[in-house]
């Protein structure tokens, strides 16, 4: 074991984190997160929806010592994934879907965890015991990120940094080493409520409160069953996640494109139409989204989302593809495809009656 002062260890960790590609590294004390009571009230109110794993790990989220006995400090890392303006329009006249920026490229979990392991190994040489997490651990990570000065809690509940905006991943290393902690920064949202106004489903019910049951990211990723009918029209053409509250934040005008090419959009997230997606078999889905965050929603969940998007922006010529989905054998996909067909026909009928349709149509 190498003997070295905590200040020197921290200095070397900061240098290593920069070399590994992290945009920020800050240190927080491992203690009860300040918003623990609010988190418990949020769970009690049912705002987590079907995310039972949050309730299952509730006690651990409120006490880092239950995650890593003897944990004294937490290293919090920010990884910039911003890739500039949205990917160019698809090379087709067919309707296309919107995918949240963080899922355009490779799976960030795998990329960031490898980097955390390097820092973990470095800390082991000083006698530290660590636990590494990339958006998966039983930690109220935004609380610790705010405590360490990575950013402040925005009214959307997202963390915001003055230089990075809000387009960054958080990851953590809990350690038994006692390193010098950093100070929090004050919030800079002021009276701005653009994120609240921008939310398409009204999921941000008030400043700093999110009803996950209405959030597009929850509906298109976490929810495994049917999307509530009343919320489907509000989803628009979003097929995986949502960036609207982030895009509306004025602080994102300072965001600079990440140099990490692995987060750039690839053909599977920028060059396919909704009907292309709808033709995917389970095997083709796995191949197309290998090493992508999108694999998390699985084939049936993704096609469910595609059907909803087609219901909102699709045309009559998309109905044959939806009819195939109805007959495909999966009840979840079939129900959403049937709904989409009804939406398209109703929209076409309204257009015909108002004279906005370009061509005569067959609504049968």
CA distances in angstroms from 118 to 136, 160, 215, listed in the order given: 18, 27, 35
Q: What is the pTM of this model?
A: 0.92
Short-list 74, 73, 42, 70, CA closest to 58: 42
Q: Is residue 299 part of a domain?
A: yes
Strand (E) or helix (H) holding 298 = helix 298-313
What domain range includes position 134?
Answer: 6-83+101-175
The predicted structure's pLDDT at residue 140 = 97
**Which residues make Cβ contacts (< 8 Å) with residue 356, sequence separation at least 6?**
none
Q: Which parts of the chain are beta strand (E)?
A: 24-29, 73-80, 98-99, 130-133, 152-153, 159-160, 168-175, 204-206, 209-210, 238-240
The predicted structure's pLDDT at residue 90 = 44
| Calpha distance 32→52 (Å, rounded) | 22
The predicted structure's pLDDT at residue 359 = 45
Please write the tens of the pLDDT for every residue from 256-280: 999 899 999 988 888 799 999 999 9
Query: What does the pLDDT average to over 235-243?
Result: 97
Please write the tens of the pLDDT for every residue from 5-60: 999 999 999 999 999 999 999 999 999 999 999 999 999 999 999 999 999 999 99
| Calpha distance 34→260 (Å, rounded) | 33
| Calpha distance 173→46 (Å, rounded) | 30
Please write the tens of the pLDDT for every residue from 300-324: 999 999 999 999 999 999 999 999 9
Percent of the chain whose pLDDT exceeds 90: 87
| Calpha distance 61→138 (Å, rounded) | 5
3-state helix vs strand vs coil in the chain, percent to 5: 45, 10, 40
Query: What does the pLDDT average to over 142-164?
Result: 97
The predicted structure's pLDDT at residue 360 = 40
Q: Give the other-Cβ count within 10 Å of 358's Cβ.
A: 6
Short-list 136, 296, 274, CA closest to 221: 296
Q: Is residue 323 part of a domain?
A: yes
Residue 357 pLDDT grade (very low, low, confident, very high; cuts 50, 70, 90): low
Same-domain status, 292 and 157: no
Same-domain status, 329 and 223: yes
Same-domain status, 273 and 235: yes
Same-domain status, 318 and 206: yes
Same-domain status, 127 and 209: no
Q: Give the pairing of strands 168-175 and 209-210.
A: unpaired
Same-domain status, 213 and 289: yes
- Of 175, 207, 229, the residue that ends a domain is 175
The predicted structure's pLDDT at residue 362 = 42
Show which residues are catalytic.
Answer: 135
Same-domain status, 167 and 19: yes
The predicted structure's pLDDT at residue 232 = 98
The predicted structure's pLDDT at residue 285 = 96
Per the structure, the count of domains in the chain is 2
Q: Are 72 and 128 in contact (CB under 8 A)?
A: no
Residue 95 pLDDT grade (very low, low, confident, very high; cuts 50, 70, 90): confident
Helix (H, G, I), strand (E, B), or coil: what is residue 116?
helix
Q: Is residue 96 part of a domain?
A: no
Residue 364 pLDDT grade (very low, low, confident, very high; cuts 50, 70, 90): very low
Query: What does the pLDDT average to over 332-352?
Result: 95
Q: Are 192 and 271 in contact (CB under 8 A)?
A: no
The predicted structure's pLDDT at residue 11 = 97
Same-domain status, 312 and 226: yes
| Calpha distance 70→357 (Å, rounded) | 68
Same-domain status, 203 and 249: yes
Residue 232 burial class via C-beta count within 10 angstroms: exposed 0-12, middle 13-18, buried 19 and up? buried
Same-domain status, 295 and 234: yes
């Amino acid at each position: 074991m190498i003997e070295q002062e905590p200040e020197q260890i921290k200095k070397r960790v900061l240098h290593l984190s920069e070399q590994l590609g992290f945009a920020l590294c800050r240190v927080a004390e491992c203690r009860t997160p300040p918003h623990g009571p609010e988190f418990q009230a949020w769970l009690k109110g049912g705002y987590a929806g079907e995310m039972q794993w949050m309730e299952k790990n509730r006690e651990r989220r409120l006490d880092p010592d239950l995650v890593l006995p003897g944990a004294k400090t937490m290293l919090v890392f920010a990884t910039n994934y911003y890739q500039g303006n949205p990917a160019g329009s698809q090379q087709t006249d067919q309707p296309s879907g919107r995918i949240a920026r963080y899922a355009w490229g490779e799976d960030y979990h795998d990329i960031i965890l490898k980097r955390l392991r390097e820092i973990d190994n470095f800390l082991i040489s000083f006698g530290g015991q660590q636990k590494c997490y990339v958006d998966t651990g039983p930690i109220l990570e935004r609380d610790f990120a705010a405590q360490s000065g990575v950013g402040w809690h925005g009214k959307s509940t997202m963390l915001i940094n003055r230089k990075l905006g809000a387009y960054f991943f958080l990851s953590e290393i809990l350690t038994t080493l006692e390193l010098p902690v950093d100070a929090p920064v004050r919030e800079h949202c002021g009276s701005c409520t653009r994120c609240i106004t921008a939310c398409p489903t009204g999921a941000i019910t008030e400043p700093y409160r999110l009803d996950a049951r209405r959030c597009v990211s929850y509906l298109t990723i976490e929810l495994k069953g049917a999307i509530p009918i009343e919320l489907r029209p509000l989803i628009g053409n979003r097929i995986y996640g949502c960036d609207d509250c982030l895009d509306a934040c004025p602080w994102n005008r300072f965001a600079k494109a990440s140099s990490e090419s692995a987060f750039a959009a690839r053909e599977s997230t920028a060059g396919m139409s909704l009907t292309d997606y709808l033709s995917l078999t389970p095997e083709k889905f796995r191949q197309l989204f290998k090493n992508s965050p999108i694999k998390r929603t699985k084939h049936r969940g993704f096609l469910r989302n595609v059907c909803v998007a087609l219901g909102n922006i699709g045309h009559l010529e998309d109905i044959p593809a939806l009819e195939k989905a109805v007959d495909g054998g999966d009840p979840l996909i079939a129900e959403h495809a049937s709904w989409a067909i009804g939406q398209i026909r109703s929209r076409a009928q309204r257009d015909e009656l108002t004279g906005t349709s370009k061509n005569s149509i067959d609504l049968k």
